[in-house]
Amino acid sequence: MHILLMGPPGAGKGTQAVRLVKQYNIPQISTGDMFRAAVKEQTPLGIEAKKYMDAGQLVPDSVTVGIVRERLSKDDCKAGFILDGFPRTTAQAVALDAILKDIGISLTAVVNLNVPSDELVKRISERARLENRDDDKPETVQKRLTVYEESTKPLIDYYRNSGLYVEINGLQDMEAVYHDIVKALEK
């Protein structure tokens, strides 16, 4: 199962991905996690990515596409994966299509967690208090939501007509969201 998990910052993608990993025994591929690890390790990629992340901006495609291509080409992704946090732009979606074609993989489903902006701000503020993530600081949150609206939300139209697109009500409790995702995947 090759799943693309979409939604705005704070929608619960990471939370749901962890559960889906256990359910289907496939890896979660999170560009956010890959970038945060690179920042923590202060790799050249991490140092470059941190500048953009701290400003609430998207890391440039040249960096992101390369790291995703490398990861999806690994053996553990052949049977399936949950891709979380990529693509974030239509250009990245086109690049993802090319990567998947090159490695002979097709997406099984595109799952979008739909959550209104006011709820997202509330969730991210709470997460910032609990996890102390730099990209959840108040000054960065609104920028991330604006970037999502401008750059990532158009992907809904890109995938809607693919026959793979499923929208999930992300306002429900975590268990109900999970149940709806699994139900959609197993149709």
pLDDT tens, position by position, 63-103: 888 888 888 988 999 999 999 989 988 999 999 999 999 99
Select from 69, 83, 64 the least CA-distant residue to 14.
83
What is the pTM assigned to this prediction?
A: 0.82
pLDDT of 135 reads 59
CATH code for residues 2-178: 3.40.50.300
pLDDT tens, position by position, 28-69: 998 888 888 888 889 887 888 888 888 878 788 888 888 888
Cβ partners under 8 Å of residue 53, min gap 6: 35, 39, 59, 134, 135
Active site residues: 13, 88, 127, 133, 144
Q: Do the annotations mark residue 19 as ligand-binding?
A: no
pLDDT of 138 reads 64
Q: Do the annotations mark residue 85 as ligand-binding?
A: yes
Contact 116, 171 (CB under 8 A): yes
pLDDT of 118 reads 83
Q: Do the annotations mark residue 13 as ligand-binding?
A: yes
Q: Do the annotations mark residue 137 as ligand-binding?
A: no
pLDDT tens, position by position, 127-156: 767 776 665 566 677 777 887 888 878 899
Phi/psi at 174 (5° precision) = -55, -40
